[in-house]
Amino acid sequence: MTSVTLKKFGIPALILAILSLSTGGMLYTTKMFEEGQLKLTIPSEARMLAIGVGVYWDITCTGPVIKIDWGSLSPGETKSVIVYIKNTGNGPMTCSIASDNWNPSGANQYFDLFWDFGSTPLDASRVRKTSISLHVHSDISGITNFSFNIIITGTG
């Protein structure tokens, strides 16, 4: 989680490193100067809400996805996780992804949430391997940590 490197950053970086390590790197936004650029790493998580489908960590669909810990994100960075979407209904379904309940409100303007599920309907009892990605805009500012809901909806 902690992405501080001490190379070239001296005592201030050392203090930040100790501070960040002492909290597991989760509670503080870690700031450092890297070749003149201010770099932010932002702790985050997303709660998963699935409607009409199941979202799992494994292909056998035994571990439901309750939340996604994106870890610490840097401006301009895209992080992805692999999940498995299962059609738990009786007929083909198309699926969509959305987000809401951003905290802090307005944080969503700095992020793009997308996936590669595609538009092909998912037949009943079928399981599709899907990548869900979160991109952080490079001009993000004023966000020290954030959370939001991911809503995956299956429509038959």
Partner 1 sequence: MSTGIINEILLVELVIFLALAIVLLVLLIWWLIRKLVLVPTLTVTTDKAEYLRGETVKVSGTLKDGTTPLPGKTVSITIEPPVGDAYGLPDVTTDSNGAYSADWVVPANAVGGNYAAVASAMGVSASKAFKLE
Q: Which of 72, 128, 134, 143 is close enough to bind partner 1 by CB under 8 A? A: 128
Site for partner 1 in 32-51 (CB under 8 A): none
Looking at residue 109, what DSSP letter applies? G
CB of 86 to partner 1, least distance (A): 6
CB of 131 to partner 1, least distance (A): 15
- Single-letter amino acid code for the residue at 150: I
123: which 2 tokens? Answer: 């037949």
CB of 122 to partner 1, least distance (A): 6
Residue in 73, 82, 83, 80 with CA at minimum distance from that of residue 110? 73
Q: Which of 1, 19, 113, 127 is close enough to bind partner 1 by CB under 8 A? A: 127
CB of 1 to partner 1, least distance (A): 25
Residue with Cβ nearer partner 1 (15 or 124): 124
Is residue 42 within 8 Å of 107, Cβ to Cβ? no
The torsion of the CA quartet 58, 60, 65, 71, rounded to 10 degrees, works out to 0
Tell whether residue 84 is a contact of partner 1 (CB under 8 A). yes
CB of 59 to partner 1, least distance (A): 5
Tokens 């595609």 sit on residue: 118
Tell whether residue 92 is a contact of partner 1 (CB under 8 A). no
Site for partner 1 in 103-122 (CB under 8 A): 122
- How many residues belong to the site for partner 1 (CB under 8 A)? 14
Residue in 134, 7, 14, 154 with CA at minimum distance from that of residue 85? 154
Residue in 55, 66, 52 with CA at minimum distance from that of residue 130? 55
Backbone angles phi, psi at 59, to 5 degrees: -70, -25
Residues forming the site for partner 1 (CB under 8 A):
58-62, 84, 86, 122-123, 125-129
